[in-house]
Structure 1
Amino acid sequence: MLEKRAVEFQLEEEVRGKHVKEPFCSQYHCGSLLGRGGFGSVFSGHRLSDGQQVAIKQISSDRVQQWARLPGDVSPVPMEIALLQRLSEVGGHGGVISMLDWFEVEGQGFLLVLERPPQYQDLFDFITERGALPERLALRFFRQIVEALQFVHAHGIVHRDIKDENIVVDTRTLEVKIIDFGSGAPLKETPYSEFEGTRVYSPPEWILSQSYEAVSLTVWSLGVLLFDMVCGDIPFERDQEIVRATPIFTRRISKECQSLIRWCLAYRPEERPTLEEILSHPWMEGGEVEEGGDLQEDPSSLPSQSL
Structure 2
Amino acid sequence: MAISVNKIVHIENYDILHTIGEGQFAKVKLTRHVLTKEVVAIKVIQKTNESSSSLKEWNQEVNRLKTVNHPNIVKLLEVIDTEEALFIGMEYISGGDLFTYLEAKGRVTEGEARGLFRQLLSALQHCHQRGVVHRDLKLGNLLLDANNNVKISDFGLSNQWHPQKKLDTFCGSPAFMAPELFLRMPYTGPEVDVWSLGVILYNMVTGSLPFRGQDFWELRQRVLRGQYHVPKSLSNEITDLLDRMLMLDPTNRSSLDDVWQHPWVNIGQEEPLPPACEEHPGMTGELILGW
Indicate the TM-score class for this superposition, using the shorter chain for normalisation. 0.7 to 0.9
Cα distance change of structure 1 residues 38 and 277 upon mapping to structure 2, 3 Å threshold: farther
The whole-number CA distance in structure 1 between the counterparts of 2:14 and 2:79 is 11
Residue number in structure 2 paired with 1:209: 184
Match of 1:257 among 238, 243, 251: 238
Contact residue 220 and residue 265 of structure 1 kept, 8 A? yes
Residue number in structure 2 paired with 1:305: none
The whole-number CA distance in structure 1 between the counterparts of 2:170 and 2:80 is 26
Residue number in structure 2 paired with 1:84: 65
Contact residue 99 and residue 114 of structure 1 kept, 8 A? yes
CA deviation after TM superposition for structure 1 residue 251, in Å: 5.9
Contact residue 204 and residue 242 of structure 1 kept, 8 A? yes
Match of 2:78 among 69, 80, 101: 101
Cα distance change of structure 1 residues 206 and 77 upon mapping to structure 2, 3 Å threshold: closer
Residue number in structure 1 paired with 2:283: none
- Between the aligned residues of both structures, percent identity stands at 29
Residue number in structure 2 paired with 1:55: 41
Contact residue 72 and residue 151 of structure 2 kept, 8 A? yes
Tell me whether 1:151 sits opposite 2:164 in the alignment.
no
Cα distance change of structure 1 residues 201 and 236 upon mapping to structure 2, 3 Å threshold: same
Where has structure 1 moved over 6 Å in runs of 4 or more?
Answer: none
Tell me whether 1:37 sits opposite 2:23 in the alignment.
yes
CA deviation after TM superposition for structure 1 residue 188, in Å: 2.2
The whole-number CA distance in structure 1 between the counterparts of 2:192 and 2:7 is 38
Tell me whether 1:136 sits opposite 2:111 in the alignment.
yes
CA deviation after TM superposition for structure 1 residue 250, in Å: 4.2
Match of 2:224 among 225, 230, 243: 243
Q: Which amino acid aligns with 1:271?
A: N
SS at match of 2:41: strand
Alpha-carbon displacement from aligned partner over 1:240-281 (angstroms, at most 9, x marks no partner) = 111011221246111111111111010100111111111110
The whole-number CA distance in structure 2 between the counterparts of 1:49 and 1:224 is 42
Contact residue 9 and residue 30 of structure 1 kept, 8 A? no
The whole-number CA distance in structure 2 between the counterparts of 1:65 and 1:163 is 25
TM-score (norm 1): 0.78
Residue number in structure 2 paired with 1:11: 8
SS at match of 2:124: helix
The whole-number CA distance in structure 2 between the counterparts of 1:175 and 1:162 is 16
The whole-number CA distance in structure 2 between the counterparts of 1:51 and 1:261 is 44
Cα distance change of structure 1 residues 39 and 264 upon mapping to structure 2, 3 Å threshold: farther
Tell me whether 1:180 sits opposite 2:191 in the alignment.
no
SS at match of 1:161: coil
The whole-number CA distance in structure 2 between the counterparts of 1:95 and 1:57 is 19
- Number of matched pairs: 258
SS at match of 1:103: strand
SS at match of 2:166: coil
Tell me whether 1:115 sits opposite 2:91 in the alignment.
yes
Q: Which amino acid aligns with 1:227?
A: Y
CA deviation after TM superposition for structure 1 residue 209, in Å: 2.6
Higher mean C-alpha displacement, 225-234 vs 32-41: 32-41
CA deviation after TM superposition for structure 1 residue 197, in Å: 1.5
CA deviation after TM superposition for structure 1 residue 210, in Å: 4.3
The whole-number CA distance in structure 2 between the counterparts of 1:11 and 1:288 is 50
Alpha-carbon displacement from aligned partner over 1:10-31 (angstroms, at most 9, x marks no partner) = 339xxxxxxxxxxx73311122
For structure 2, list consecutive stretches of 5 or more residues without a partner in the other structure.
Answer: 213-218, 271-291
Q: Which amino acid aligns with 1:243?
A: L
The whole-number CA distance in structure 2 between the counterparts of 1:265 and 1:240 is 15
Contact residue 161 and residue 167 of structure 2 kept, 8 A? no
CA RMSD of aligned residues (A): 2.3
Q: Which amino acid aligns with 1:150?
A: Q
Cα distance change of structure 1 residues 37 and 188 upon mapping to structure 2, 3 Å threshold: farther
The whole-number CA distance in structure 2 between the counterparts of 1:134 and 1:213 is 33
Residue number in structure 1 paired with 2:12: 26
Tell me whether 1:126 sits opposite 2:101 in the alignment.
yes
